[in-house]
Chain A
């Protein structure tokens, strides 16, 4: 440990006084770590949105064989029949309108919900960043906008939000632990039904959000709902909410899984980059290391110098890359598809793991060159130059 303190000033001078070499290595590490953190943030968002947990109690009832809010139409009166089924606590009808049905990074999703159900089942889970629920209640064309969507679109309470041919007044900005709530605008159901009559009529909704009394019965109740409407003109497909998101986002999940390989590829690139930079630096400094040993540095200290340099470059590059990824995720991007949103989350654990990995890679990349340099006989080193 004492060696580290003694040698640090020397390592610092080597890094700072060779700005081109250090800068190139550092920027390479930073770009790779940015890619890794961004991809990992995306993966973390997907995981958070689709991980089914044992205490999930929410089902989503959709029109069978429909995969987009534009085409899923269910009669609103289904709600009463669903609520009558054993184990169902509530069935909230929901009209969904989206600005883009395909996968996109900037989808605006409107969710129309009945006022009473909204106040009872949704509002208690919200924290109001701006505005209030009263403003929403008092204005038929008002919307409560999720914070991520508000940041992305740059709107505040009192502004207007235009998307998908719908204009709403922003009555409040809400924060929620549910990723879906962060990326939608909640409107009155009747308002959304009225403004979005594309070949349909009022009394139609896109889906029902069903709350059950026992997480253990989730699958059984889903089957009983689908059985209830199997012979109706609009049969249903009911799944746990997280499974519904996972199914709707199937294509995106595949892409994210592939991207996560790219993230690991970026890490491998970091390793190769730092190792290459260190190998070249060590080769250039064969004579310098021989001088150090001539003036009394022991081989272990020479190895430590090399490993420290790799580790510091890895750490600095990792910090720059992680900051870049953090800035990106602060924009609250979300991948929207079929009315659902998966937020690219700025999870601190992703940043921390990225930093630890870049340090570990820098350290690992320096080990072999350090070992070789510390074992090379001095006389051979002087003869080599």
Chain B
């Protein structure tokens, strides 16, 4: 059985008189250990799919199983508890709590876990170390660069040791050098720690780190990238030496 299975997954909502269908009867299976890049134009349903897998949003129809659990049937509270141990979510805009230090932001998911303070400290330290931001543990988000903030966000997503990491345009707000560093970090989490990684991205460079790239358009998977995107990917691929260097 696949780690994530979507069957006829549909999400609809209405805005005014219009019915919007971000996801339309999507069938998808994702195996454990995958590094999947989801690409597609704005409004194609990428983030909606990510939110459904994370249990942040609920499908209108269809089935969604993660590690065999039909998460659409879980109550909101059960879903939150499930998410805390199964999913690490990385946002484009980092979404750190501004009044907390890097350490405290990473510690957040553990505050509600039944573990000792000592273990909590050890786990936070390990996550900060893994994300390469341990030296900034006492900095507030406003004192960090975008790349550093994203590293803290990644550490926060890792701290409960979830099997699945979901990243919604994690490099969308970063410069080229920071983007490269973050993508390399994510790749390491996939290859060394075996995390299943699903990244929503507009950045064609990401596809060269991912093991698989899927394209979404109007809420459905399309077999090939649209011509304009394919050209972008090719051009980005020509400069991949950066990653290999």
A18 touches B111 (CB 8 A): no
Report if A231 contacts B (CB, 8 A).
no
> A385 to nearest B CB, angstroms?
9
B112 to chain A: closest CB distance in Å?
A: 6
A291 pairs with B80, CB closer than 8 A: no
Closest chain B residue, CB of each to CB of A294: B89
Q: Is the CB of B97 within 8 A of A299?
A: no
Closest residue of A by beta carbon distance from B88: A295
Interface string of B101-141 (1 = CB under 8 A from A): 00010001101110000000000000000000000000000
A300 on interface, CB distance cutoff 8 Å: yes
Asked if B151 is an interface residue, CB under 8 A from chain A, the answer is: no
A198 to chain B, nearest CB (A): 70
Q: B84 to A296, Cβ gap below 8 A?
A: yes
Bound Cα distance A9, B113 (Å): 15
Residue of A3, A18, A296 near B109 (CB, 8 A) is A296
Q: How far is the CB of A298 from chain B (nearest CB, A)?
A: 4
Q: B160: nearest residue on chain A (CB-CB)?
A: A296
Q: Mark A268-297, 1 if CB is under 8 A from B, else 0.
A: 000000000000000000011001111111
Bound-complex Cα distance A297 to B76 (A): 10
Pairwise interchain contact B80-A298, C-beta atoms closer than 8 A: yes
- In-complex Cβ contact of A379 among B56, B80, B112 (8 A): B56
> Chain B 42-78 against A: per-residue CB contact (8 Å), 1 yes, 0 no?
0000000001001011000000000000000000110
**Least distance between A79 CB and chain B CB atoms (Å):** 75
A13 touching B100, Cβ below 8 Å: yes
Chain B residues, CB < 8 A from A301: 112
Q: What A residues does B85 contact at CB under 8 A?
A: 296
A7 within 8 A of partner (CB): yes
In the complex, the answer to whether A296 meets B99 with C-beta atoms within 8 Å is no
CB proximity to A under 8 Å, residues B203-228 = none
Q: Is A155 an interface residue (CB 8 A)?
A: no
**Chain B contact residues: over half helix, strand or loop, or mixed?**
helix
Q: With A and B bound together, what is the CA distance between A233 and B104 in angstroms?
A: 87
Q: Are the CB atoms of B109 and A295 closer together than 8 Å?
A: yes
Which residues of the partner chain B approach A3 to less than 8 Å between Cβ atoms?
112
The verdict on A166 contacting chain B, using a C-beta distance below 8 Å, is: no
A298–B113 CA distance with the chains assembled, in angstroms: 12
Most interface-central of B76, B81, B113 (chain A CB within 10 A): B76
Chain B residues bordering chain A, tally (CB within 8 A): 24
Inter-subunit contact B108/A295 (CB<8 Å): yes
- Closest-by-CB residue of B relative to A15 is B99
Q: Is the CB of B99 within 8 A of A18?
A: yes
With A6-B111, A291-B95 already in contact, the answer to whether A299 and B56 are too (CB < 8 A) is no
A14 lies within 8 A of chain B by Cβ: yes
| Beta-carbon contact of B112 and A378 below 8 Å | no
**Min CB distance, A384 to chain B, in Å?**
13
Is B195 an interface residue when CB atoms closer than 8 A count as contact? no
Q: Are A13's CB and B77's CB within 8 A?
A: no
A358 vs B108: C-alpha distance when bound (angstroms): 30
Residue pair A296, B51 in contact (C-beta under 8 Å): no
CB distance from A2 to the nearest CB of B (A): 9
Residue in A closest to B56 when the chains form the complex, CB atoms? A378
CB distance from B95 to the nearest CB of A (A): 5
Residue A10, interface by CB 8 Å: yes
B80 and A299 contact, CB distance less than 8 A: yes
Contact flag A379-B99 (CB < 8 Å), given A295-B84, A301-B112: no
How far is B156's CA from A288's CA once the two chains are assembled, in angstroms? 14
Q: Are B77 and A291 in contact (CB under 8 A)?
A: no
- Please tell me if the beta carbons of A296 and B77 are within 8 angstroms of each other in the complex: no
CB-defined contacts of B89 to chain A, threshold 8 Å: 294-295
Within 8 A of B (CB), among A314-364: none
Cα separation A13 to B57 with both chains bound (whole Å) = 30
Interface centre among A3, A17, A298 (most CB of B within 10 A): A298
Contact B95 A287 (CB under 8 A): yes
A-binding residues in B (CB < 8 A): 51, 54, 56-57, 76-77, 80-81, 83-85, 89, 95, 97, 99-100, 104, 108-109, 111-113, 156, 160
Known A295-B160, A301-B112; 8 more pairs at CB < 8 Å: A6-B111, A10-B108, A287-B95, A291-B108, A294-B56, A295-B156, A297-B80, A377-B57
Q: Give the top 8 A-B pairs by smallest Cβ distance, nearest first.
A: A296-B84, A295-B109, A379-B57, A298-B77, A17-B99, A298-B80, A378-B56, A291-B95
A-B contact pairs, 25 of them (CB 8 A): A3-B112, A6-B111, A6-B112, A7-B111, A10-B111, A13-B99, A13-B100, A288-B97, A293-B80, A294-B54, A294-B56, A295-B83, A295-B109, A296-B80, A296-B112, A297-B112, A298-B77, A298-B80, A298-B81, A298-B112, A299-B76, A377-B57, A378-B56, A378-B57, A379-B57
Report A's interface with B, CB cutoff 8 A.
Answer: 3, 6-7, 9-10, 13-14, 17-18, 287-288, 291-301, 377-379, 382
